[in-house]
Amino acid sequence: LEDFDAAVEELWETDGLIIDQRMNLGGVVPFIDYGFPLLFDEDIDPLVEFHERDPDSGDYTTLSLDYVAWLDADESTYYDHPIAVLTGPKSGSAGDLCPYLLAHHARSRSFGRATNGAFGELLPVWYPYDPYVSDMSAKLTRAQMVSEAGDHLNAWEQTPDEEIWFNADDAAAGVDTVFQAALEWVQAENAQ
């Protein structure tokens, strides 16, 4: 978290940022407090609410508010340059929330494929130590995210602004097609 915060500060004078979320498998919600407040000049409150199953209800579909996540912007700063966000189907949880947050920035645009749509808070329930099944685990969705409009975001993929992915020829040549599209957009935005 501190590294991302330091990177935003170090890259402040650049012509644009490309933030790659294609393999962000998730993390903790406080990531919002590192680096992102520098990019925005207005708070986003609420960004999302976390709703959990109501333990006092016999109906497992009954949800109650657990906590609210918001962005507490640094009003003395604003990154007024293009921000390209790279997305893909391997991103989930915080990997969904980060592009969702950056979509609130007036100068952002997303590139890639739709995200996983795993807007939730997970609890591990099974991590086997058997070497034959070590690539398997089980997790329980403890809480799901709800948008400021009240929409449940779990299982809601985020479609990028520009859908683009690798092709065989580019991959074989070592060209990152998604990154190239984002870089071209940043350069075109700055040319204007």
- Sheet of 63-71: strand order equals 63-71, 44-53, 138-147, 120-126
Grade residue 65 by pLDDT with cuts at 50, 70 and 90: confident
Residues contacting residue 134 through CB under 8 Å, at least 6 positions apart: 128
Residues contacting residue 128 through CB under 8 Å, at least 6 positions apart: 134, 136, 137
In the chain, % helix, strand, coil (3-state, to 5) comes to 25, 30, 50
Given this model, what pLDDT does residue 150 score? 82
DSSP β-bridge partners for residue 140: 123
Given this model, what pLDDT does residue 127 score? 64
Distance CA 65, CA 172 (A): 48
Mean pLDDT throughout 110-128? Answer: 80
User: pTM of the entire structure?
Assistant: 0.85
What stretches of the chain show up as alpha helix (H) in DSSP?
2-10, 36-39, 94-102, 168-172, 177-191
Q: Is 144 exposed, middle or buried (0-12, 13-18, 19+ CB in 10 A)?
A: buried
- Among 3-12, 45-54, 116-125, 180-189, where is mean pLDDT lowest? 116-125
Distance CA 7, CA 108 (A): 18
- SS3 call for 3: helix
Cα dist from 158 to 51, 54, 167, whole Å: 20, 27, 21
pLDDT at 124 over 80: no
pLDDT, tens digit, for every residue of 144-191? 888 888 888 877 777 899 999 988 999 899 999 999 999 999 999 999
